[in-house]
Amino acid sequence: MKDKASKKSPTKDEVSTENKEKNIEGVNTDNQDDDYVELSEENMELSVEERLVLIEQKAEANWDKYLRAVAELENVRKRASRDIENARKYALENFSRELLSVSDSLELAADSEDLDIESLRSGNKATLQLMISTMEQFGFEVIDPHGEPFDAECHEAISMQPSDQVEPGSVLTVFQKGYMLNKRLLRPARVIVASDPEK
């Protein structure tokens, strides 16, 4: 009985102090946001007003970063818009420059007064070849399917004609050549397709 009596019950102040220590130990600081000012041992000694000044300085720095990011984004948008506009305006600049030689050739032939039929024909062929060569430099491809099987994706049949010169279903005559640009169809070749010869 004496042993039980000798044990003292904790006082009210001791219980309060113990609970405070447990509450402090149970605080979880792992998930604190990095944007908040870290309260180091030195900052813990600062007054509320001094801590508020530090927080305001941090907020001003973050606001300045935000404004700079917005300004940079706007500059990128303006540059992209300007580049797109220039690409639209001057997309054919190189092609147009190469066509100038074709124009010069035609102008030279038109200004000549001493041309016979043969010279005119030869000049036209040379100019046409120059133009085709220029177009090929920029991805143009001529579709001239004479004697080839009819292809509905690249050819347009304007009629069919019996013939024993080519296989039925093949192109007998190319009425108008077609063109492709970088493997994309610009204009189908207009053709006459051979059918079975009449008996």
CATH no. for residue 198?
2.30.22.10
List all residues 6 or more positions away from 102 whose beta carbon is below 8 Å from its beta carbon.
127, 130, 131, 134
Q: Are residues 127 and 156 in the same domain?
A: no
Last residue of a domain, one of 56, 91, 126: 91
- The token duo for 65 is 């970063």
Confidence of residue 11 (pLDDT cuts 50, 70, 90): low
Q: Where is 115: in which H helix or E strand?
A: none
Q: Domain ends where: 117, 138, 159?
A: 138
What domain range includes position 189? 141-199
DSSP state of 29: -
4 lies in a domain?
Answer: no
How many domains are there within the chain? 3
For residue 66, being part of any structural domain is answered with yes
Does 26 map to a domain?
A: no
> Would 117 be classed as within a structural domain?
yes
Let me know whether 80 and 122 are in one domain. no
For residues 100 and 74, membership in a common domain is answered with no
Q: Summarize pLDDT for 127-184 with one digit per residue, the tens.
A: 889 999 989 988 999 999 999 999 999 999 999 999 888 899 999 999 999 999 999 9
Q: What b-and-e string marks burial along 122-141, b requiring 16 or more CB atoms within 10 Å of the CB?
A: ebeeebeebbeebbeeeebb
In a domain, 18, yes or no: no
Q: Within a domain: residue 145?
A: yes
For 77-125, how does the pLDDT look when each residue is reduced to its tens digit (9 = 90+)? 999 999 998 888 887 888 888 888 888 888 887 777 777 788 888 888 8
Do 168 and 198 reside in the same domain of the chain?
A: yes
Distance in angstroms (rounded) separating the CA atoms of residues 89 and 113: 38
In a domain, 2, yes or no: no
Per-residue pLDDT of 39-78, as tens digits, reads 455 555 678 888 888 889 999 999 999 999 999 999 999 9
In a domain, 57, yes or no: yes
